[in-house]
Amino acid sequence: MKLKVCGINDKNILQSIIKLDVDYVGFIFFEKSPRCVNLDFIREISVFDFRNTIPVCVFVNSNNSFIREVISFFEKPIIQFHGDETQIFCDSFDTHYWKAVRISNQESFKQITSYPNAKGILLDTFEDKNYGGTGRSFDWSFLKTNSFTQNLILSGGINDQNMQEACKLSPWCIDINSGVESAPGKKDLVKINKIIKIKHNYEEQRLT
């Protein structure tokens, strides 16, 4: 089970997370998000040694040229489409991508079939006129009554209180964001380390 820390906007926090060997780190390019970063930030971190951590660039209905400019600063990044992007648009980039699907009810899962080439489907919580960052979890019981062939990334309000329950659902990856912040947009290394410990403990228990 992989782990992604999303909404990174601090270089020192990024370096610390890379040292923890987190699988993915997410950078958000959506102006309405308190975690939004700009091209100046990306230029600065483009010289970082990401080691085994893969950067994920998160876009919400961005235009083609902007997306291509952003990903050019990284070696083999993943694009995360978190808006209303079509399959044709998502497939037009020569790189792996994830597509976010916002869940409100069982019918929401039908959207997944519209993106057969996505390397991952990120399940987030639906909120009207909001493309993410709600800090709330959707009804995880929906996952027990659906079967999926694509890699699922579980997102939405995951913190140290529900991380163990998230692990029990066995998603391919868990995405944490607001649940490891001390304030909106301010990542907390203590909380991140606690999440990592819960994940490791869960995996060790399964092996015994």
- pLDDT at position 148 is 82
The 3-state DSSP class for residue 169 equals coil
Q: What is the CATH number of the domain that holds 46?
A: 3.20.20.70
Mean pLDDT over 119-132 rounds to: 83
State the first-to-last Cα distance of the chain, in angstroms, to the nearest integer: 17
pLDDT(123) > 90: yes
pLDDT tens digit sequence for 36-85? 999 999 999 999 999 999 999 999 999 999 999 999 999 999 999 999 99
Q: pLDDT-derived band of residue 165, with 50, 70 and 90 as boundaries? A: very high
Domain that holds residue 44: 2-207
CB 20 within 8 A of CB 195: no
pLDDT(152) > 70: yes
Total count of domains within the chain? 1
What torsion do the CA atoms of 146, 130, 76, 153 make, to the nearest 10 degrees?
Answer: -20
pLDDT tens digit sequence for 12-29? 999 999 999 999 999 999
DSSP letters along 73-97, please?
A: TSSSPEEEE-SS--HHHHHTSSS-E
pLDDT tens digit sequence for 97-122? 999 999 988 889 999 999 999 999 99
Helix, strand, coil shares of the chain, percent, nearest 5, are: 35, 25, 40
Q: pLDDT-derived band of residue 147, with 50, 70 and 90 as boundaries? A: confident
Sign of the dihedral through C-alpha 104, 106, 107, 110: positive
Q: Give the residue numbers annotated as catalytic, written as ranges.
A: 6, 124
- pLDDT at position 92 is 97
